[in-house]
Amino acid sequence: MSPIALDALAARVPDGALVALAPDYALPASALTHALVRRGARGLRLIGVPTSGYATDVLIGAGCVASVETSAASIGESGLAPRFAAAVAAGAIEVIDATCPAIHTMLQAAEKGVPFMPLRGVLGSHLLEHRPDWKVIDNPFSDDKDPILLLPALAPDIAVFHALCGDAHGNVYVGRRRELASMAHAARRSLVSVERMVEGNMLEDERLAPGCIGGVYVEAIAVAEHGAWPCGALDEYSADFAHLAEYARAARTEEGFRTYLARHVLAPQAAAAQ
């Protein structure tokens, strides 16, 4: 598999797609997010796996998003995701409440090819009142009353994430971020940005194979050096907490967000850097 241009990768995300996004702490594809903004994507239905952060907030602020299914939306230590909060207050997006275990469980059901999977932790919470698609039944294997929650399989149209490297066989290395593997397995397609391409077949290397997602799950790769920035990329580079704090301050207002967008996402030099 030969890498394609970042903007060409973004062009493979159609308007209205159900898109799974990695959280800020687990290889988010920030550069690809910026490319989606430049493309003018619209009506995206986002899934935070299991939480939402910088990428989701930028897409919402740029008018790319119709709905978000997530268990939280924040810019880490900088607080609540500001454009998400503004959009919710204005009724501009639909928010589908979930929990971290629920998101993972629904993806695992799709990954395994089953229509649902059970979970206990949500029982007794008010969340069930807002999720009519989640069903409580009696455990059929218990002689006593034993309620269990059934969650439907969640199969994203597209999984979007970053990786440290990719190879010509389409394999990508994500280290111990195995939630990205569940995301890729559950999705119909996966689009991945990478720091660099490497020689050989990583699945044939006993040291690298456990941290790889196989090319059978990856549709296309684009090289984007520092493609997770301003978030971090495993041991490659740390999150730019100062920049994230700058973003959180700027994005509290529509004017501030537009200024940030022009400077860091839409400007020719910003696009060239990615």
The pLDDT of residue 110: 98
What phi and psi, each to the nearest 5 degrees, are found at residue 182?
Answer: -60, -40
pLDDT bin (cut points 50, 70, 90) of residue 74 is: very high
On the question of pLDDT at 245 being above 90, the answer is yes
pLDDT bin (cut points 50, 70, 90) of residue 121 is: confident
What are the domain boundaries of the chain? 6-99+154-273, 117-152
Least confident of 15-19, 79-83, 117-121, 151-155: 117-121
Calculate the average pLDDT of the chain. 96
On the question of pLDDT at 231 being above 90, the answer is yes
Percent of the chain with pLDDT over 70: 97
The pLDDT of residue 66: 98
pLDDT tens digits, 140-193: 999 999 999 999 999 999 999 999 999 999 999 999 999 999 999 999 999 999
The pLDDT of residue 268: 60
pTM of the model: 0.94
For residues 119-126, average pLDDT? 90
On the question of pLDDT at 201 being above 50, the answer is yes
The pLDDT of residue 270: 56
On the question of pLDDT at 20 being above 60, the answer is yes
On the question of pLDDT at 269 being above 60, the answer is no
The pLDDT of residue 267: 82
What does the H/E/C string look like for the chain? CCCECHHHHHCCCCCCCEEEECCCCCCCCHHHHHHHHHHCCCCEEEEECCCECHHHHHHHHCCCEEEEEECCEECHHHCECHHHHHHHHHCCCEEEECCHHHHHHHHHHHHHCCCEEEECCCCCCHHHHHCCCCEEEECCCCCCCCEEEEEECCCCCEEEEEEEEECCCCCEECCCCCHHHHHHHHCCEEEEEEEEECCCCHHHCCCCHHHEECHHHCCEEEECCCCCCCCCECCCECCCHHHHHHHHHHCCCHHHHHHHHHHHHHCHHHHHHC
The pLDDT of residue 60: 98
CATH architecture of 6-99+154-273: 3-Layer(aba) Sandwich (3.40)
